[in-house]
Chain A
Amino acid sequence: MTFSAGLGSHDEGHVSVCYSEDGNHIISGGTEGDIKIYRGTNSTEDPEQTFFADAFNVTTIKQWKDNIVAASEGWSLQKWGFPDGNKSGFLGKFSGNITHFSLNFDKDKILVGSAEFIMKITDLETEEQSTVKGHTAPILRTTFGRKFFASSSCDGTLKIWETKSKECLKTLEIYPKSNDVDLSKVRGAVQFDEQENLIAAKENEIKVYSSGLWTEKKTLKSEDMTAILELELSHCKRYLVVGCKDGTMLIWDLHTYCCVNKIKCISVPSSIATHPAEYKMLVGDLRGKWRECDPYLTSEMLSNLPENSDDADVKTSTQNGVQSLIDMEAEDFDDWGDDENQDIMNMDRDEDDIKAVASRNAAIINDDDDDSNEPSILQMAKLPERSTTPELVKDDPVQVAEPEPEYVGPELQEAFQVSSSPDHLKFRYLVWNDVGIITSREEEDSSYINIDFHDSTTHHPLHMVNSEGYTMGSLSKFAYSLATPSSDSKSKCSKVLTNVFSSWSASKEWSVNLPKEESVVLLTVSNTLLGVVSDLQYVRTWSLGGLQRHVISLPGDPVTLASHNDLISVAHYSGATLSFSLYDTKKPRLVHCSPLPLTPSSTLSWMGFTEGALPLVYDSEGVMRGLLPQGNLMWVPLSDLKVGKRNLSDTYWVVSASDDAIKCVLCKGVTYPGIAPRPILSIVPHTVPLCDSGSERSNLEQGRILNFVKTYSLNKLNTFHKECRAETMEKEEVTLLLKLMALAIKNNKDFKAFELAKMMPTKQSLEMASRYASKTGKVLLAQKINNVLRNYEEVPEEEDDIFEVTEVSYNPEPFIAVAEPSSSSHNSNGISLMSKAKKRVSQIDDTVAPLRLNNRPPPPSKPEEEDEEESQNPPSPAPVPVDVNPFSVKSDEVRNTQRRSTSFLETIEMKGLEQGQKRKSLQNIPEKSGGLTLADLGKKSSFLKVTKSDAKKLPTKKSKPKTKKKTGYALWFETQEGVDPKAGPLKWRHLSPEEKEKWLEQAKQMDNKPAEPSVSLVNSFKKNKPDDNLNASSGCNDIEASVDVPHGHNVQNDATVEMSNISVDDKEKNNEDKVTDEKENLDSNNSENLESSRAGKRKVSFETEDEDSAVKPSKAKRVSEKSSGDVSTGTKSKLAAFQFKKK
């Protein structure tokens, strides 16, 4: 038993087929109105004849003698000659469509049913015509026996008529009623068998009405028989072919009323024709094709078939039929995909199965007929199986037609591209994001794709013909990408085209085809990668250049996809829950995976990232959520757009979102915005759904939450932005907290105010809080805050941990921007955090500056005029700065900055001094002004000589990894001021071996202790002040002291500073005198005291920092202003003058 491949080339739709009388030809008619005559079915050759039926939609076609008659939408029944296809006349005209016609057994009369409720019988010989009226709706099907004819109609009835009198003998209401043939749920197929018993198809069963009495004789039922469309009798009229909607063909033996064969055909039958001599049949389908089944009986049945079907050996045939029940493989369509091919594979059932099914089919015969006088019952009585066939009662569970109620899960959301309009629209957005808009326009003959960039500097607008049929698009600052899914027929691969328009290379475009069985579902392109989700649930990523990077498997159906640089986020189902996965493709790993929080009974409608890589989702109920690193990554609602919405039917179509606001299009009454005129973006600021929203307090509270978001986003920005924004961020936080506190104080909520004060990020702000509290008369509160202030150092900064988690999870690279080696030692994890570091720097900037000036040893031996000038200088107006407290810094922090600035200036100085050629070298100094000032002053003042001499010894500190190793000679040479470089080696040779040894040792030491400060310096200090300790009067140590003095000792401390300044003046002079001595004693003091070494270093740093401030005069000025509150006026004015001079 084989099915031929689908043949015929009619247009998609109903095909009616028939065999020629001799069985050698096949005639088919399609919806386009063509009738084709084929010779046999063995070859796929073209039809012998093709002619037009004068009207579309050939519904029925018959051939006998030399006639072909076809019913089509033309209101007449036409006749053509066979096999030439020449028109040979009409067989009746109607005033409506002809729905069906049939020939009687003798083929001398034709019965035509029409859509205008009537039927006509035409005698083919006499051409005598008579009209049959009786139905009250269009005729569905007709059948013509000898003495009787029958018709089914849309009025729900099946009428049986007598041919002679054309009177209605019986009306059976067995069909659902309908208005038209097209709308009818049943096709109402009817047939007469050899004994003119009427066989009528109901929906899932076949009724057999006994001839003459027209009572129900049999009901044929089978589990496999559902939604019966077609009935056809074999040429011998013994077998009934039943075509069902699911493509199943059942062959019933009308003698035994057993199902003898089951054939699975893949297509919905539109018409069935049986061969006039053999057990072959044609099946026309709804795709414009037909195929032949040869034979439709099993081979065993065929071999056992009696010559004369009237003398059927029923028993044999039935047994054969029972055993031969198998599925058959149908040959597929030419254009049928491989996938579907598998669905119709032959199923190899084992024996038991076959028997079970067969017996079931055989058993489902209901004998409703109690009338034993019925003529046909005699034949039935002959059947020996009748007694052996187990009879089933009607209400047997097997027969219950009702399908079991299936569990219907929650409706899963379909995959969608972010910010695109649905693809059934002719004018649609493929994407609209921060970079630009990709639109697709489908016009009559062709379709186009337009890419417009918001920023005209990104790229010029692009316009292209969409010949490939791209339906998905994505756009980033550097590239755009388009994709097409594989077509239905799978003939075309799914293709992804990427154009890196920002690339400098000549070939900017590349495309890739997905494997044949895979089709693109979602597409995204970021600044660094191209991401694709396919229907096989793979996430595939490419670099922008086209390098395949990863293939990740998703646990469920994808819903949407977004990307930001190396991060790629996918919303997908895991089971029935919508989940969110965030992958970092740079270091391929799953960063985060969690069920997606959505407002109940809402769907996901947008997903994306902020500029700072904060993942966001937006649902159809208008809530935007962000994945915040509070704790261990959690979803936080940032915005509820439903709150401020005026009209319920308005929706926001989100385009992008930032830390502050959502960019969206307000769609009034629709879900998607139209293309032209281009809608204007609305910028809706985030409104965190806080309680008591709209009040001043909740606005401030919201400000804090959003500020946190911004601080987070900050981490992702580049260093420059970070520096700029971190300060504003913190200021913002302090302002918000202060405002909230003010509000709380106003409302007499002291405890809340205290809570807020405790949240202050810096000591300064805490002081401000305390000051504010005391100003408003909240003595107790101020006292409490002061207590906190006193214990400030002990307050652990919990935030840090959170950020560390974030860092580790999002960006594994530690920040280098502000991080100092020492700060990493402070931070146990070794990862210094941007925010913290920044915080410190900002503290330091404000607080160290006054310190520097406070403790800076004033130039001891300045010319007299200078001093006079200074004293004449009026003290600068310097408003008392509120937020500057020189003591609010931890001592080690001070050290950090100092060390840093030291090293910075040191390199500058050394560059110049090393070469011994000041002028030339100074030009190489990056900060020329500073260098020059230094040089100039060095000539004049003895103070600066000290600096210089100190600086000369600084190479020790240069023993950082990047600097070259110093030889003993180099060290020595540096001390030899004014020595001609050429003469240097000569002099060195004249040195005593001991001396050489000493220098060499020193150089070695420096190499071993790269981080240690200058040994020589240390020694110099040691020498000068052998009994040095922290409380000594040395200027350097005073600095240490002043830093460590607890708060509340301002006045005393200022005094100390001043005094120390004076004392340093003297000391400097001493230093100057003893420079030469130092050199000699270097080796004797090798074991340096850490404390004093630090002090020594401090000293240098202060001096150099003075230079620093000279380099940046404006900054120095500001600093001096700031410090004026704490420094005594005299010092300050001197200082100012000094700075001024330098400038």
Chain B
Amino acid sequence: MDPAQIEFLAEKESISILPNFTEDKLYLISGEVGPFQPQVPVEVPLWLAVNLKQRQKCRIITPDWMDVDVLKEKKAEELEGHLFSKPLHPHFLELSTIILGMSSEVKDADEVRTLIKDIWDVRAAKLRKSVNKMINHDGGGGKPLAHVEINNITVLELNTIRGFFTASLDHLHNLRNHAELCLNDPRYN
């Protein structure tokens, strides 16, 4: 999967908007949306919100978690533990990127952007660290670990390492096998 696909998935997340038009319910495949009344908050999928916003038909209500205080707290929590903390939103990076790109109404937008990036960096670092740990860990008898458990990881994070990680594990596996062969091969001894 590429990030665009994940973004596409993330656009299904619902978000509150303040429409400035009147419209009855919309019947979408994913379910009913609306009715729309001016200045009355209504939950819509992000893609619809983006569309409406582009046509200047609504104001996007910034989600609660896109708040400086909440993000700071989250960042602190993330820095504290060595495990992944529960993300603010399963698509927090995608959502915040889209919303910050769309809406100029986000309070302290720059700070929010920085904080989200910080959180992302912390999490990415943790991911790399745990990967490293996993590869180097001795699963017993010189064999690598058979499996690891990682909780609270977002799709996007998983996706960033999946391609490389699985491929490199393959390589490692090959090499290890190869090493065994080599060890056993009298030609190399």
Contacts and interface: CB of A to CB of B under 8 A. Distances in A.
A and B together in one complex: yes
Interface in B47-65: 56-57, 61
A456 B61 CA distance: 17
Nearest to A677: B107
Contacts of A681: 18, 39-41
Most buried by A among B39, B61, B107: B39
Interface string A453-485: 111110000000000000000000000000000
B38 A454 contact: yes
B56 A456 contact: yes
A455 B20 contact: yes
B40 A457 contact: no
B105 interface: yes
B52 to A, nearest CB: 11
A681 to B, nearest CB: 6
A434 B39 CA distance: 8
B107 A683 contact: no
Contacts of B22: 455, 457
Nearest to A435: B38
A991 interface: no
Contact of A680 (B20, B41, B107): B41
A453 B39 CA distance: 9
A953 interface: no
Contacts of B40: 663, 681, 683
A456 B21 contact: yes
Given A677-B105, A677-B107, A680-B61, A457 B21 contact: yes
A680 B41 CA distance: 8
B38 to A, nearest CB: 3
Nearest to B61: A680
B138 to A, nearest CB: 53
A1053 B20 CA distance: 58
Contacts of B39: 434, 454-455, 681
Nearest to B41: A680
B41 A683 contact: yes
B64 to A, nearest CB: 11
Nearest to A456: B20
B94 to A, nearest CB: 23
Interface string A435-457: 00000000000000000011111
Contacts of B56: 456
A805 to B, nearest CB: 32
User: At the interface, is chain A mostly helix, strand, loop or mixed?
Assistant: loop
B38 A455 contact: yes
Nearest to B107: A677
A453 B21 CA distance: 10
A680 B64 CA distance: 12
Chain A interface bracket (under 10, 10 to 19, 20 to 34, 35 or more): 10 to 19
Contacts of B105: 677
A533 B38 CA distance: 30
A454 B41 contact: no
A680 B18 contact: yes
Contacts of B107: 677
A374 B41 CA distance: 89
Contacts of A454: 20, 38-39
A456 B18 CA distance: 12
A1128 to B, nearest CB: 40
A454 B61 CA distance: 15
A54 B101 CA distance: 59
A571 B57 CA distance: 37
Contacts of A663: 40
A677 B104 CA distance: 11
Interface string B25-42: 000000000000011110
B69 to A, nearest CB: 14
A455 B41 contact: no
A889 B54 CA distance: 56
Contacts of A456: 20-21, 38, 56-57
A456 B39 CA distance: 10
A1125 to B, nearest CB: 32
A663 B18 CA distance: 13
A457 B39 CA distance: 13
A451 to B, nearest CB: 14
Nearest to B16: A680
Interface string B115-127: 0000000000000
Contacts of A455: 20-22, 38-39
A454 B18 CA distance: 9
B140 to A, nearest CB: 54
A663 B20 CA distance: 16
A230 to B, nearest CB: 57
Contacts of B38: 434, 453-456
A1053 B18 CA distance: 59
A683 B21 CA distance: 17
Nearest to A458: B38
A453 B57 CA distance: 12
A1045 to B, nearest CB: 44
A456 B40 CA distance: 13
Contacts of A453: 20, 38
A536 B19 CA distance: 42
A681 B61 CA distance: 11
A680 B42 CA distance: 11
A109 B155 CA distance: 94
Interface in A793-844: none
A268 B57 CA distance: 60
Interface string B77-112: 000000000000000000000000000010100000
A434 B37 CA distance: 10
A434 B41 CA distance: 13
B24 to A, nearest CB: 12
A455 B58 CA distance: 10
A987 B40 CA distance: 73
Contacts of B57: 456
Nearest to B22: A455
A663 B107 CA distance: 24
Most buried by A among B18, B20, B105: B20
A663 B41 CA distance: 11
Nearest to A663: B40
Contacts of A677: 105, 107
A454 B38 CA distance: 5
Nearest to B42: A683
Contacts of A680: 18, 41, 61
Contacts of B20: 453-456
A667 to B, nearest CB: 17
Nearest to B106: A677
Contacts of A683: 40-41
Interface in A425-440: 434
Contacts of A434: 38-39
Most buried by B among A663, A677, A680, A681: A680
Given A454-B20, A456-B38, A457-B21, 5 more contacts: A455-B39, A456-B20, A457-B22, A680-B18, A681-B41
27 contacts: A434-B38, A434-B39, A453-B20, A453-B38, A454-B20, A454-B39, A455-B20, A455-B21, A455-B22, A455-B38, A455-B39, A456-B20, A456-B38, A456-B57, A457-B21, A457-B22, A663-B40, A677-B105, A677-B107, A680-B18, A680-B41, A680-B61, A681-B18, A681-B39, A681-B40, A681-B41, A683-B41
Interface of B: 18, 20-22, 38-41, 56-57, 61, 105, 107
The 6 closest A-B pairs by CB, nearest first: A454-B38, A454-B39, A455-B38, A456-B20, A455-B20, A680-B61
